């Protein structure tokens, strides 16, 4: 499996003339996966050899502005470049609880309509990831008002005894999210390649007398 990583932004808190806010692209088999989308990410994409139209998945670590302020603009640009008559699988977006509301409100208040589908999958934090005064019981969230008003998607929770959220799984790899501890609920993403059986050289074994 071939993977290619491009750092689109490594700046913290705010961009600079020569360094963008947080964003990283992973190219895999014709697809592009984006990790964080700080301000100016789409400009950095244009400067790279990557094609933004190939973005199929976006992973957001946390909801600080230097990691998400570029996301609504990027989605709108992708919409302007898309073919409204072509069928397209949803762009899958993963991130902390609240990401759906952020996107819904940003697009609604700016009167922006996307010409392709998106699905937002939110990770519910555990109580120890939030200050006690900010944590609330999310057990009744499924099917509630927040989901009804925003784009479709799943709400993902840690089950008893689990230490990671399963996000993506295919024949080659698994993508999981793990809890991180920051000033706001944060998550790290791990891509794990599945074991691949090797090719047995029968003639070599015969030559060795096996």
Query: CATH code at 56?
Result: 3.60.15.10
Which residues are CB-contacts of 59 (< 8 A; sequence separation ≥ 6)? Answer: 33, 34, 35, 36, 93, 94, 95, 167, 175, 177, 189
Confidence of residue 16 (pLDDT cuts 50, 70, 90): confident
Task: Give me the count of residues in the chain.
Answer: 210
- For residues 57 and 92, the answer to whether their CB atoms sit within 8 Å is yes
Predicted pLDDT at 134: 62
Confirm whether 66 is a catalytic residue: yes
Catalytic position from the list 66, 128, 137, 142: 66
DSSP three-state, residue 179: strand
- Total structural domains in the chain? 1
- For residues 94 and 197, give the distance between their C-alpha atoms in angstroms, rounded to a whole number: 31
User: Is the per-residue pLDDT at 210 higher than 90?
Assistant: no
pTM of the complete model: 0.86
Q: Quick one: what percent of the chain has pLDDT higher than 90?
A: 57
Domain residues for 140?
3-207
Which residues are CB-contacts of 15 (< 8 A; sequence separation ≥ 6)? Answer: 9, 21, 38, 39, 40
Predicted pLDDT at 184: 87
Strand order in the sheet with 173-181: 165-169, 173-181, 185-193
């Amino acid at each position: 499996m071939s993977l290619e990583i491009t750092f689109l932004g490594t700046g913290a808190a705010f961009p600079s003339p020569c360094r963008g806010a947080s964003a990283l692209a992973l190219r895999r088999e014709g697809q592009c996966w984006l990790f964080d989308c700080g301000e100016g990410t789409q400009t950095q994409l244009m400067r790279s050899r990557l094609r933004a139209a190939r973005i199929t998945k976006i992973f957001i670590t946390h909801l600080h502005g230097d990691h998400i302020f570029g996301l609504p603009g990027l989605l709108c640009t992708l919409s302007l470049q898309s073919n409204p008559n072509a069928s397209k699988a949803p762009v899958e977006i993963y991130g902390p609880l609240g990401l759906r509301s952020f996107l819904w409100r940003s697009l609604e208040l700016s009167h922006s309509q996307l010409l392709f589908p998106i699905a937002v999958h939110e990770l519910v934090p555990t109580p120890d990831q939030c200050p006690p005064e900010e944590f609330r019981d999310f057990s009744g969230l499924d099917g509630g008002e927040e989901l009804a008003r925003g784009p479709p998607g799943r709400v993902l929770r840690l089950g008893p005894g689990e230490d990671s959220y399963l996000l993506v799984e295919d024949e080659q790899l698994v993508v999981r999210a793990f809890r991180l501890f920051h000033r706001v609920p944060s998550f790290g993403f791990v891509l794990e390649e599945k074991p691949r059986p090797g090719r047995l050289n029968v003639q070599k074994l015969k030559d060795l007398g096996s």
